[in-house]
């Protein structure tokens, strides 16, 4: 066995952990950039790594400042009195003072969550609620945690009491309580909700998501964005122009997002290789259905259908649990296996017909299978124990994960490679 450095995992090197935290921030910025496509949004642009991790600018000129804090889910919850949080609050206070009447709100975002066990100096959600329900600190005793937090921030942010209290009233918390890596999955989910994108093949949506994450990563660095000729044009100041170009490089506008989407939408029409296994990392799936997603994506199934299939599988799992509670383990297992056999038979027929149209045929197969299973529910409900169509489609997802059902010519999924 080879015990060299290339075959031994260094668990003491925090470099990969740091990279993962930056990935979380870039993905969160990408999700906010996707909001630029929403018709109901009033977001004008996203600005990365300028004053704060992310600035969201609205058309009315207001800003939202966002600090992203990531932490492994097996570590402790964020507390109001720890240095990381105190530093974040100080930055918000200083920024609010520097640019008065500019920020509509400030947000601390984390993949983890905030400590809420007791209403004391550690409980940040409670402290902020206390601030938001009061007009001032008047009447609060010296030992009250909110007064103590305010005074501590005053001493470290160069702001007075009223300035700090005003900022605290505008701070929002967003704790997702999920693993850091699953944020990439959330970028794809957010994209699929945009008009016209959910109907694209899942493989195309994955490529768009990765490109938008790359856009956010570039905007988070100090890259110049503009022609070199402007930097050396006669009569201009190099430092001033370079500052303008650095700021421009930090901005994400709607046109940039739509250009990426339009380019990849057009290119996907000519993609012959739908293998996106390099874009599907096991850690970024909150479920255990990575193989199912990879197989449906290879078949060209639309993003909304792939994402919906995850929910349908969980719907079937809930039904199995209900059967177990009602009829016992043996009867529930018998019903479950019979349903799988019926769905597998219909899936085989749907695949045989769909593959005659040429690859990728996953979308056609999905439509035909859905129709067949709907017919089963209507024509012979007792044979399938009065399952609903979504339960049967969930069974198709289970069969796909188990490599009993295919949406494309067979291949070796990444999870099965040794």
Asked if residue 347 belongs to a domain, the reply is: yes
DSSP 8-class letter at 48: E
pTM > 0.85: yes or no: no
Residue 176 pLDDT exceeds 70 = yes
Instruction: Count Cβ neighbours within 10 Å for each residue of 202-227 and write b for 16 or more, e otherwise.
Output: bbbbbbbbbbbbebbbebbeeebeee
18 pLDDT band, cuts 50/70/90, is: confident
Residue from 82, 49, 44, 81 nearest 66 by CA: 49
Q: What are the tens digits of pLDDT across the range 131-168?
A: 999 998 888 899 999 999 999 999 888 899 999 999 99
pLDDT greater at residue 78 or residue 284: 78
Residue 16 pLDDT exceeds 80 = no
Name the region of 243 (left: φ>0; alpha: ψ -120 to 50; beta: rest). Answer: alpha
Residue 4 pLDDT exceeds 90 = no
Residue 280 pLDDT exceeds 60 = no
Residue 266 pLDDT exceeds 60 = yes
Residue 277 pLDDT exceeds 60 = no
Asked if residue 95 belongs to a domain, the reply is: no
Per-position DSSP letters for 49-113, written without gaps between them = EESEEEEEEETTS-EEEEEEE---TTSPPB-TTSHHHHHHHHHHHHHHHHSTT-EEEEEEEESS-
Per-position DSSP letters for 222-277, written without gaps between them = ----S-HHHHT-TT--HHHHHHHHHHHHTEEEHHHHHHHHHHHHHHHTT------G
Domain with 341, as residue range(s), is 310-416
Cis peptide before 360 (omega within 30 of 0): yes
Name the region of 109 (left: φ>0; alpha: ψ -120 to 50; beta: rest). Answer: beta
* Distance (Å, whole) CA 43 – CA 50: 17
Residue 335 pLDDT exceeds 50 = yes
pLDDT of res. 418? 38
Residue 52: beta bridge partners?
50
Residue 107: beta bridge partners?
66, 172
Q: What are the tens digits of pLDDT across the range 82-106?
A: 999 999 999 999 999 999 999 999 9
Number of domains in the chain: 1
Asked if residue 216 belongs to a domain, the reply is: no
359 pLDDT band, cuts 50/70/90, is: confident
Structural tokens at position 43: 């977001």
Q: Average of pLDDT values for 52-66?
A: 95
pLDDT greater at residue 2 or residue 61: 61
Residues 6+ apart with CB under 8 A from 134: 140, 146
SS (H, E, C) 151-198: HHHHHHHCCCHHHHHHHHCCEEEEECCCCHHHHHHHHHHHHHCCCCCC
Residue 233 pLDDT exceeds 70 = no
Asked if residue 337 belongs to a domain, the reply is: yes
351 pLDDT band, cuts 50/70/90, is: very high
Asked if residue 369 belongs to a domain, the reply is: yes
Asked if residue 25 belongs to a domain, the reply is: no
Q: Average of pLDDT values for 257-286?
A: 65
Per the prediction, the chain carries an average pLDDT of 87
In the block, residue with structure tokens 């009569």: 235
pLDDT greater at residue 371 or residue 266: 371
* Distance (Å, whole) CA 151 – CA 121: 13
Residue 283 pLDDT exceeds 80 = no
Query: What is the CA angle 99-105-110, rounded to 5?
Result: 120
Which pairing describes strands 103-110 and 63-69: parallel, antiparallel, or unpaired?
parallel
pLDDT of res. 40? 64
Asked if residue 136 belongs to a domain, the reply is: no
């Amino acid at each position: 066995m080879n015990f060299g450095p290339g075959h031994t995992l260094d668990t003491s090197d925090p470099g990969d952990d740091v990279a993962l935290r930056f990935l979380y921030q870039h993905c969160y910025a990408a999700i906010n950039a996707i909001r630029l496509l929403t018709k109901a949004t009033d977001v004008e642009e996203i600005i990365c790594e300028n004053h704060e991790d992310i600035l969201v600018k609205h058309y009315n000129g207001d800003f939202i400042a966002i600090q992203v804090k990531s932490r492994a889910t097996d570590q402790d919850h964020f507390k109001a009195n720890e240095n990381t949080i105190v530093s974040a609050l100080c930055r918000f206070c200083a920024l609010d003072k520097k640019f008065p009447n500019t920020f509509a709100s400030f947000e601390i975002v984390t993949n983890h969550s905030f400590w809420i066990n007791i209403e004391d100096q550690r409980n940040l959600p409670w402290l902020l609620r206390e601030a938001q329900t009061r007009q001032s600190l008047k009447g609060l005793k010296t030992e009250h945690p909110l007064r103590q937090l305010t005074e501590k921030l005053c001493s470290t942010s160069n702001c007075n009491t009223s300035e700090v209290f005003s900022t605290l009233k505008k701070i929002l918390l967003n704790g997702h309580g999920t693993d850091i890596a699953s944020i990439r999955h959330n970028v794809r989910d957010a994209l699929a909700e945009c008009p016209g994108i959910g109907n694209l093949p899942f493989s195309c949506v994955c490529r768009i998501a990765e490109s938008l994450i790359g856009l956010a990563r570039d905007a988070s660095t100090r890259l110049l964005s503009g022609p070199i000729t402007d930097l050396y044009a006669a009569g201009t100041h190099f430092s001033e122009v370079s500052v303008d170009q650095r700021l421009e490089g930090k901005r994400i506008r709607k046109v940039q997002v739509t250009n990426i989407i339009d380019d990849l939408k057009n290119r996907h029409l000519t993609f012959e290789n739908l293998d996106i296994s390099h874009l599907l990392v096991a850690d970024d799936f909150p479920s255990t259905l990575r193989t199912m997603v990879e197989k449906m994506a290879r078949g060209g199934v639309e993003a909304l259908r792939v994402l919906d299939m995850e929910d349908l599988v969980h719907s079937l799992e809930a039904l199995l649990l209900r059967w177990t509670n009602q009829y016992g383990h043996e009867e529930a297992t018998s019903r479950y296996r019979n349903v799988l056999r019926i769905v597998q038979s219909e899936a085989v027929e749907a695949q045989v017909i769909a593959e005659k149209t040429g690859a990728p045929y996953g979308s056609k197969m999905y439509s035909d299978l859905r129709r067949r299973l709907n017919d089963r529910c209507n024509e012979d409900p007792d044979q399938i124990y009065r399952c609903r169509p979504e339960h049967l489609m969930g069974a198709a997802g289970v069969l796909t994960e188990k490599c009993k059902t295919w949406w494309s010519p067979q291949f070796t999924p990444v999870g099965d490679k040794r």
